[in-house]
Chain A
Amino acid sequence: MTILQIDFFYFLEKLLLIGGVITFSLIIAMYTTYAERKVAAVLQDRLGPNRAGPFGLLQPLADGLKLFFKEEIIPLTSNKLLFVIGPALAMITAMLTSAVIPWGSSVNIFGRNVSLQIADVNIGILYVFGVVSLGVYGIMIGGWASNNKFSLIAAVRGASQIISYELAMGLSLIALLMMTGSLSLKTIVEQQMNGAWGGFLGWNVLYQPLGFLIFLICAFAECNRTPFDLPEAENELNFGYHQEYSSMKLGFYLFAEYINMFISSAIVATLFFGGYDIPFVNETTLAHTLGGNVVALLGVAALLAKISFFLFFFMWVRWTIPRFRYDQLMDLGWKKLIPLALANMLITAIVILWLNK
């Protein structure tokens, strides 16, 4: 159906995909809070939440309802407009990143080839970086608008931490991008799928282990997760930048953190672990026997499995490693990770030149 030279089915398909991805990330974020508590419990020899529903599976719903019913307090001395914008911004920037992640190859619905990616932007990873750096405004504005010393300190800490680690993150990625020669996430995934062993030997983590490590550490810092959770540092700063927040505004901040975790797991899986590539399986030959749609859905499942592993990894690290001191954090970021990333970039460049000679 084409009216005014606009393909309305295309419009509809993208709208559905956007709705699906947003709902999906919200549900995942909800259940990540549950998983966090459960993982924390089993790592500490406890049972974890098991009261609401079977195995406590309704716990996130109960938590959400609780947050909705809490009294919403806006401090008198706060900047009211910014106070409201802060959590909204944190949430929006967290959700925006999911637009360029390829969730799967493409499915065939009624003869239409529907790509399981909202937008295959040719500067995909750059877009991610742009949006992630906006995320710092959520923290900064929230901390500033609260008009509270602890919140402000936490917000300043958070801002400088995120900006410092973005550098190392970007530098570690440059090495990867020199190999792929493309910024589009879809292209990066397709290149990995062409590797030997059904794509497994094409995974970028095998060629860029150092880059992966730096990227992962920086992802922890960008998500404000332990060991880099200095902006919220509950026992030094009384929960930091969202100290004055209550009700669902607090919920938004907490939620945004979990969505960020989900998205950064997805990006790590996409960039370094083959995205929706099923390891040891050749997708094209499998598509002949099972049909393209089934393989595409299996690919989505493979991506989700990788993402779940990284989500678990985030929690696993959280309950293992204690928090950094602030000077150690800056030391690690500026004096260790950035030189390492630069060295990694240089070595990669030399190897690429050597191979192409």
Chain B
Amino acid sequence: MASLTNRSKVLEQTPLNLMERLYLPSIFKGMAITFSHIFKKKATISYPEEQRPFSSVFRGLHVLNRDEEGRENCTACGLCAVACPAEAITMEAAERQPNEEHLYHEEKYAAKYEINMLRCIFCGLCEEACPKDAIYMSETFAPSNFTRQGFIYSKEQLLIPDPNTDKEKYQVAKGLRELNKKNK
């Protein structure tokens, strides 16, 4: 039959010789290969005890940031919600009262701030859109919950620990972030 492309190759199929027909040499060869795998480096790890290192640009769960005095950075401008391609972010803005200056960085703040982690695609566009450095993505990942409702994270769950009341946790969270920034 005429070949269409002239690229076809004719496979030569010679009948098996005696050694090949015995099969045993090839079986031993195969067993040597599997045996050598005993000494190879394991491809898996004991997960919760050991963890694989993340890339420096890893995008995990979101954290709402505070400034050094523990005031929330977020001004509820809504840029993150607009940037979000999955429409996972909802927020309600409120005006800061005169006695709330120690709580919020600017005159406007987010009274309600929710991210639906089931909708979120962890693209990081909210982090890029934020002009106040109020939202960033941490290295925490794989959240688990019993209900769908549980995956809608409220502002309290998203906020970084307060440096005034919980200094240590704040430092840990902050330290991780500084480390990541340096690597970036």
A residues whose Cβ falls under 8 Å from a Cβ of B: 42-47, 50, 316-317, 319-321
Cα–Cα, bound, A321→B38 (Å): 16
Q: Tally chain B residues at the interface, Cβ within 8 Å.
A: 15
Residue in A46, A47, A50, A320 whose CB lies within 8 Å of B34 = A320
Contacts of A46 in B (CB 8 A): 42-44
Given contacts A42-B38, A320-B30, A320-B33, 8 further A-B contacts (CB under 8 A): A45-B41, A45-B43, A46-B43, A46-B44, A47-B42, A47-B44, A316-B35, A321-B27
B35 touches A45 (CB 8 A): no
CB within 8 Å for A320 and B27 given contacts A46-B43, A47-B44, A50-B46: yes
A319 touches B34 (CB 8 A): yes
CB within 8 Å for A42 and B37 given contacts A47-B44, A47-B46: yes
Cα–Cα, bound, A321→B27 (Å): 7
The answer to the question of B45 belonging to the interface, with a C-beta cut-off of 8 Å to chain A, is: yes
A45 touches B45 (CB 8 A): no
Contacts of B37 in A (CB 8 A): 42-45
Residue of A nearest to B21 (CB): A336
Contacts of A321 in B (CB 8 A): 27, 30
Contacts of B31 in A (CB 8 A): 316-317, 320
Whole-angstrom distance from the CB of A343 to the nearest CB of chain B? 14
22 A/B residue pairs, CB under 8 Å, sorted by A: A42-B37, A42-B42, A43-B37, A43-B38, A45-B37, A45-B40, A45-B41, A45-B42, A45-B43, A46-B42, A46-B43, A46-B44, A47-B42, A47-B46, A50-B46, A316-B34, A319-B34, A320-B30, A320-B31, A320-B33, A321-B27, A321-B30
Cα–Cα, bound, A320→B28 (Å): 10
Contacts of A320 in B (CB 8 A): 27, 30-31, 33-34
B residues whose Cβ falls under 8 Å from a Cβ of A: 27, 30-31, 33-35, 37-38, 40-46
Cα–Cα, bound, A42→B39 (Å): 8
Cα–Cα, bound, A50→B43 (Å): 15
Best-surrounded residue of B41, B42, B43 (most CB of chain A within 10 A) = B42
B30 touches A47 (CB 8 A): no
Best-surrounded residue of A44, A46, A50, A320 (most CB of chain B within 10 A) = A320
Cα–Cα, bound, A316→B42 (Å): 17
Contacts of B34 in A (CB 8 A): 43, 316, 319-320
Contacts of B40 in A (CB 8 A): 45
Contacts of A316 in B (CB 8 A): 31, 34-35
Cα–Cα, bound, A317→B34 (Å): 9
Cα–Cα, bound, A44→B45 (Å): 13
Residue of A nearest to B28 (CB): A320
Whole-angstrom distance from the CB of A312 to the nearest CB of chain B? 10
Cα–Cα, bound, A50→B175 (Å): 33
Contacts of B45 in A (CB 8 A): 47
Cα–Cα, bound, A47→B41 (Å): 10
Cα–Cα, bound, A33→B34 (Å): 19
Residue of A nearest to B31 (CB): A320
Cα–Cα, bound, A46→B34 (Å): 13
Cα–Cα, bound, A186→B40 (Å): 42
Contacts of A319 in B (CB 8 A): 34
Residue of B nearest to A322 (CB): B30
Cα–Cα, bound, A50→B34 (Å): 21
Cα–Cα, bound, A316→B41 (Å): 18
Whole-angstrom distance from the CB of B16 to the nearest CB of chain A? 14
Whole-angstrom distance from the CB of B47 to the nearest CB of chain A? 10
Whole-angstrom distance from the CB of A43 to the nearest CB of chain B? 5
Cα–Cα, bound, A153→B30 (Å): 31
